[in-house]
Homo-oligomer: A and B are copies of this chain.
Amino acid sequence: MGSIPSSSRASSNPSPSLGRRDAVAGILERCREAVRPALVEAVGRLHPWNGEMAAYALGWSDVAGTPDPGGSEGKGVRAALAVLGAEAVGADGGVAVPGAVAVELVHTFSLLHDDIMDGDGLRRQRPAVWKAYGTGPAVLAGDALHALAVQTLAESPGPWAGAAVRSLSGTLSALVSGQAEDLQFERRPWRGSGAVGPEQYRSMAERKTGALLGSAIGLGAVLGGAPAGTVSVLERSGCHLGVAFQAVDDLLGIWGDTAVTGKPVHGDLRQRKKTYPVLAALAGGGKAAQELAVLLESPGPMDDAAAARAALLVEEAGGRAATREEARRHMDAARCGLREASLTPRAAGDLDALFTYVLERSW
């Protein structure tokens, strides 16, 4: 794999009209271009049917298999974290490409199977793979992406492939453990000794969301030949970013602008999702928390008025503020990690900008 052009074009653009957001767009584009050929090659190794479903899941084609330049493709945040992880430890970003491919494949696999488990019929404004191709084929496509991710890394050249596979395999185990926890939360009560505490939710988010973001930067650093201590600091940094991201996502799930999120107002409350704001509110145990619990325990669908009331109660009981604080605290910890490790300044700057971008989520 060739060397990746420097990010100078994007991150030090002299035009005053180009702000931080444009700089991040440039970083993402540069990394996507660096990783894309290897990702296409990897997907090309799949059985044609699995390859077709993978291309759909990756947003490369529509359900008829026709190339779809309509922009359903992900931003490639994880791939960029891997490339920047290598650059940050002084290596050429190109060495991180197998890791970047692996994390993008794992991310796609996990969304694909999670949609089956959660019964979510929509993903990026299109039918989820299981809706488009059927549950059985979607299970298979996910398995194929899972296997391909490991294979891509296991067969990658260089002296660090073994360490990289060990790291990714731990991440995959963490992911499924986090998903198990998340699914089991649904079955637990809103109150009493069996209730889900905010700290249990965080532990789930560390595995379900944090592990893969941490693995992305960590794999870049591993493949860049970084010492174990640096890898570990960067992994933790990415994990904190993931937990912060989840907290912001939970805020958006209740108070997000529907025009931006594409989801109904108070959506997570209508679906009675056990997210951080709600769990933090309930954990407070005051009057608003009591009323909120009664509302959430009541059977039948939650109408507009009930959902609006629930949102108000979450806020009154301190759930919104606690979640903002949770996001802030983990974002600080994530940034702290970037400073703690001795990184090359440009890549560290790019990572910092990318962290902010991930959290702003107004895209």
Contacts and interface: CB of A to CB of B under 8 A. Distances in A.
Interface of A: 45-47, 49-50, 113, 116-119, 135-137, 139-140, 142-144, 146-148, 150-151, 154-155, 161-162, 165-166, 169-170, 172-173, 175-177, 179-181, 183-184
Contacts of A166: 154-155
Contacts of A47: 176-177, 180-181
Contact of A144 (B117, B148, B173): B173
Interface of A is mostly: helix
Nearest to A51: B180
A150 B142 CA distance: 16
22 contacts: A46-B173, A47-B176, A47-B180, A49-B184, A113-B139, A113-B140, A116-B136, A117-B136, A117-B137, A117-B139, A118-B136, A137-B183, A139-B139, A142-B143, A143-B143, A144-B176, A147-B173, A148-B173, A150-B165, A151-B169, A154-B162, A165-B169
A54 B142 CA distance: 19
A339 to B, nearest CB: 31
A72 to B, nearest CB: 23
Contacts of A140: 113, 117, 176, 179-180, 183
Contact of A161 (B46, B137, B162): B162
Number of copies: 2
Nearest to A177: B47
Contact of A155 (B148, B169, B176, B183): B169
Given A46-B177, A116-B136, 16 more contacts: A46-B173, A50-B180, A113-B140, A117-B136, A117-B140, A139-B139, A139-B142, A140-B183, A144-B173, A144-B180, A147-B175, A150-B150, A150-B165, A150-B169, A155-B169, A161-B162
Contacts of A119: 136
B137 A151 contact: no
A24 to B, nearest CB: 32
A245 to B, nearest CB: 22
Contacts of A170: 151
Contact of A50 (B144, B169, B177): B177
A243 to B, nearest CB: 18
B183 A136 contact: yes
Contacts of A46: 173, 177
Nearest to A180: B47
A147 B175 CA distance: 9
Given A113-B140, A180-B49, A184-B49, A147 B172 contact: yes
Contacts of A155: 166, 169
A102 to B, nearest CB: 11
A271 to B, nearest CB: 16
